[in-house]
Structure 1
Amino acid sequence: MENMPKVKIGIVAVSRDCFPESLSVNRRKGLVEAYKAKYDGEDIYECPVCIVESEIDMVNALKDIQAAGCNALCVYLGNFGPEISETLLVKHFDGPAMVVAAAEESQNNLIQGRGDAYCGMLNASYNLALRNTKAYIPEYPIGTFEEAADMVHEFVPIARAVAALAELKIISFGPRPLNFLACNAPIKQLYNLGVEIEENSELDLFEAFNNHAGDPRIPDVVKEMEEELGDGNKKPEILSKLAQYELTLLDWVKDHKGYRKYVAIAGKCWPAFQTQFGFVPCYVNSRLAGKGIPVSCEVDIYGALSEFIGTVVSQDAVTLLDINNNVPADMYEESIKGTFPYEHKDTFMGFHCGNTCTRKLSFCEMKYQLIMARSLPQEVTQGTLEGDIVPGNITFYRLQSTADNKLRAYIAQGEVLPVAAKSFGSIGVFAIPEMGRFYRHVLIEKNYPHHGAVAFGHFGKALYEVFKYIGVDVEEINFNQPKGMLYKTENPFA
């Protein structure tokens, strides 16, 4: 996957000067050895310069990990730790940071070998708050070498997402279509997150597209498309235009990225797009998503942002779907009830016109867009990628700014069922535990739009930590609550 950073975490051990420094030295080595034994070790760097006991040590350690190219930091409390120096290290490090602490090893070594990092973690968290400084602290941040190695490894996708957002630009084309105010996008929160945005006119895009007519690279892209589609290539006559459009977007990204390293796109796809361009962009959007450059539909800026976060966390293609329609009762009775552990209201269908990467479809065919073709000539609606979404675990999620510039998010883990959707578009039969209540008391109650991002796997734990780290209030990170856990707006007598 392209369009995301590689994380290199600097492991810096700290020590309070009235504790044996050897505790932190040996425990740092133990953590690094455990990490390399369980994982590849390429994404960590052991800072050998010093154990941080003082502010000067902090400066030297900071210089060392910066010189080593670290873009994330792990402060490791091998003992109680110096609360001032260790939190200054986090404050002055330009990137995501975590704090983790060493557990005591044995009852046989609790005199000179006791480090009291359990206590030191309390002081570290208190000092971070005093300095208004963010750090990721695991659910239970005290661990053996192996347990601490697991915590560092779990931090990798979180750090990758936080680092990527700091260098992201979202490129959008055109205003949201009429009657799509649900995809409104107050951009203030983008700047608060450190994200840049470039908003363009559809005319700018159309001009760039026309300037790519006859581009000598088009035949090679068409060949790629033919190989990818295989027997699903039902509209070969449209591929050259789609290839021209793909090259237009990729060149726009290259020419407009500016000082940013990573890009997501919020694209326009109707109502004038089809009649002017002569096709719909769905398949191209799916191909870019497969390359790690998510393209949201209907100029959904926070949809594009959500897709990008999921792409970076999962290191895989994601998709953006309408939370679209309920599963008919006869389909539930015939294909789901008694076979899968879900009630009817736990199920729904996720759909979009054809923007899902071919790797995430059980089968695919290039077709025309049925809904658009109801009011337009069919020939200008070609370009969708239709097929059932692959069964398996998924995470449905979204980061959103409200109209009054408040960040909120939701995360719900579930699965795509191996049930034929028997419909059109990129579509799947989804099941999320307690979806009916989640739909009513989160999606409706909290005024979320109809678009949700889908990551292919269970990534709720990492996404929750990413949202916390970037500043979403924990009260505004919603999830599908289990039975017996009432939502604030849920009628207890219902």
Structure 2
Amino acid sequence: MKCKKIVLGYVPVMRDTFPVAPAKQMRDRIRARVDEILQGNEHIELADASPLLPDGMLWDNADVEKVAAFLEEKHADALFLPHCNFGQEEAAAKLAARLGRPVLLWGPRDPAPEGLNFRPLDIQCGLFATSKALVRYGVPFTYLENCNLDSEILAEGLDRFARTVAVVKAMRGMRVGQIGLRPRQFLSVKVNESELLEKFGIEVTPIWTEEITTIVAKLRSGNADKIGRVQKIELPMATKRLGTLEDRGPDPSIRQRMEDIRSKVDCTNVKDDTLEKIAVVELAIERIAQLHELDAIALDCWAYLSSEFGIGACFVIGDLIDRGLVVACETDIHAAITARMLYAATFDSSCPFIADMTVRHPTNDNGELLWHCGPFASSLKKEGIKGSLCDCKGFFEIKGGDITLARMDQTKGSYLLFADEVRGIEGPQTNGNYVWVEANDWPAWEKKFMYGPYIHHICGVHGKLAPVLKEACKYIGQVTHDSVNEVKEL
């Protein structure tokens, strides 16, 4: 849940050669408006550096290091540089370069000139100067239109920038657990682990399936207190050691998880022992994620769980996503990364889903079926649908509305992040989990995915978030945004 909140370093900027009093007044008006926008907002926390600065604004290069140290101590995820007058571009750019975090550049519109009287602010003019300085220092930044203080442009821009920062935060240093091997037939989900680490700091962490098996046995025998990391040297002895565990009876969390699953979907056709296996495997994978500090998981859903426990992986995957752990089926690591980014774009509040692009709509040439055999989060169910658990798969249609679709993939060392938007529509009923969507030009989408480095797997999340993903590419680096439709800047 590390992306539920971002810490925004707040550093007002002024030009020392302009009169101080009007800048102070504007400083206070800006802060009052920002506080109004953020009131009740649990996703953005300000780390305000103004108390450290003369007149509460940055203008002196000598203060840069002090402010940077303060923001680092506060674990600021990004930097906001509201200009209170023309601003001091050198100090602002030096601070941004020193921190190396996403930067939001903005200032309010000046009041109308009063005849021949001196203009005390000239904020827009200074924003041009600061933007050039940021470019000179090689600092990527996000610019919000020079708008009035009461404009929704500021409120919407702060929200979208914070979502962008959350995506960048999720991407940097992401740890993806790989449980099992990819299906032999799925050449399309191959990845380059070294490139992911070198380019993006993404670690792919192999998880031995024996670790899951061992934790399941400990949960079933009531020895959850003995769960820890399994070292390779111990694995050959795992089965023998488990035979000596004291049998205290199943851990209470198993029964609790079973009842929680029953409250979500109709389990009439599921035997108790099957539901118990689903519950205990979920708990074991969650424990693995905690032990290895994983942000997402790519799971072998074809062989391991069916051969070891006699269950399918579909509902397990969807239910884990519902509980905040992103899991991709068919050991698709790029899908796990993309889905985690989408989850972050919602501040970890709306579940992503990973679907196959499967069948064109029978009567709408711009319609397409996004489907999979049952791994979608039950919280995404279409309104009025209970949904069922059948053969370890979730069977229900998910809600429509605005949906952002994305896929990060690569070829020959070049990475693209496709991010575009569609709308949910009505379509024929089918099995598993699904939603019918409409694009502005589906044939163009189809060709994009045929020719681009992509596959049939696509990640989705509800909301219009393509601009957020596009902006995140600016800060992530070495990945290029791709789309069918023009995606506007924030």
Give the alignment's TM-score, normalised by structure 1: 0.83
| Equivalent position amino acid for 2:35 in 1 | K
Give CA deviations for 1:452-480 in whole Å, capped at 9, x if unaligned.
1111121122122112321255xx42222
Q: 1:163 to 1:205 in 2, by over 3 A?
A: same
How far apart are 1:233 and its partner, in Å? 4.2
Whether the 8 Å contact between 1:396 and 1:455 is mirrored in structure 2 is yes
Aligned twin of 1:422: 429
Give CA deviations for 1:400-419 in whole Å, capped at 9, x if unaligned.
2x132211011221122133
Whether the 8 Å contact between 1:23 and 1:113 is mirrored in structure 2 is no
How far apart are 1:114 and its partner, in Å? 4.1
> 5+ unaligned residues in a row in structure 1: which ranges?
333-343, 369-382, 483-494
Aligned twin of 2:148: 144
Q: 1:452 to 1:438 in 2, by over 3 A?
A: same
Give CA deviations for 1:250-292 in whole Å, capped at 9, x if unaligned.
11111111xxxx6111111014542233111211211121122
Q: 1:99 to 1:110 in 2, by over 3 A?
A: farther
Aligned twin of 1:309: 341
2:235 matched to 1:236? no
| Equivalent position amino acid for 2:456 in 1 | H
Q: C-alpha distance in 2, partners of 1:204/1:453?
A: 28
Q: C-alpha distance in 1, partners of 2:485/2:118?
A: 46
Q: C-alpha distance in 2, partners of 1:232/1:279?
A: 15
2:361 matched to 1:327? yes
How far apart are 1:3 and its partner, in Å? 4.5
Residue 85 of structure 2 aligns to a residue whose secondary structure is: coil
Whether the 8 Å contact between 1:189 and 1:406 is mirrored in structure 2 is no
Aligned twin of 2:202: 195
| Equivalent position amino acid for 2:388 in 1 | E
Aligned twin of 1:335: none
How far apart are 1:399 and its partner, in Å? 1.9
How far apart are 1:39 and its partner, in Å? 3.6
How far apart are 1:109 and its partner, in Å? 7.7
Residue 146 of structure 1 aligns to a residue whose secondary structure is: coil
Of 139, 155, 161, the residue aligned with 2:161 is 155
Aligned twin of 2:440: 433
Give CA deviations for 1:112-133 in whole Å, capped at 9, x if unaligned.
4443332333332332233232
Q: 1:384 to 1:26 in 2, by over 3 A?
A: same
Q: 1:146 to 1:469 in 2, by over 3 A?
A: farther
Aligned twin of 1:37: 36
Whether the 8 Å contact between 1:355 and 1:384 is mirrored in structure 2 is yes
Residue 164 of structure 2 aligns to a residue whose secondary structure is: helix
> 5+ unaligned residues in a row in structure 2: which ranges?
222-249
RMSD of aligned alpha carbons: 2.3
Aligned twin of 1:263: 295
Aligned twin of 1:487: none
Of 375, 385, 399, the residue aligned with 1:390 is 399
Residue 108 of structure 1 aligns to a residue whose secondary structure is: coil
2:353 matched to 1:346? no
Q: 1:434 to 1:263 in 2, by over 3 A?
A: same
Q: C-alpha distance in 1, partners of 2:23/2:159?
A: 20
Alignment of 1:59-98 (within 5 A): 59-68=65-74, 70-93=76-99, 95-98=101-104
Residue 86 of structure 2 aligns to a residue whose secondary structure is: coil
| Equivalent position amino acid for 1:267 in 2 | L
Whether the 8 Å contact between 2:81 and 2:92 is mirrored in structure 1 is yes
2:323 matched to 1:291? yes
How far apart are 1:104 and its partner, in Å? 1.2
Whether the 8 Å contact between 1:174 and 1:200 is mirrored in structure 2 is yes
Whether the 8 Å contact between 1:387 and 1:427 is mirrored in structure 2 is yes
Residue 196 of structure 2 aligns to a residue whose secondary structure is: helix
The sequence identity of aligned pairs, in percent, is 19
Q: 1:193 to 1:105 in 2, by over 3 A?
A: farther
Whether the 8 Å contact between 2:79 and 2:101 is mirrored in structure 1 is yes
Give CA deviations for 1:401-444 in whole Å, capped at 9, x if unaligned.
x132211011221122133x32111112111111111211x211
Q: Between 64-73 and 85-94, report the one with greater CA deviation.
A: 64-73
Whether the 8 Å contact between 2:100 and 2:139 is mirrored in structure 1 is no
Q: 1:5 to 1:176 in 2, by over 3 A?
A: same
Q: 1:291 to 1:21 in 2, by over 3 A?
A: farther
Whether the 8 Å contact between 2:173 and 2:200 is mirrored in structure 1 is no
| Equivalent position amino acid for 2:322 in 1 | G
Aligned twin of 2:5: 6
How far apart are 1:83 and its partner, in Å? 2.1
Q: C-alpha distance in 2, partners of 1:109/1:37?
A: 32
Aligned twin of 1:453: 459
Whether the 8 Å contact between 2:171 and 2:476 is mirrored in structure 1 is no
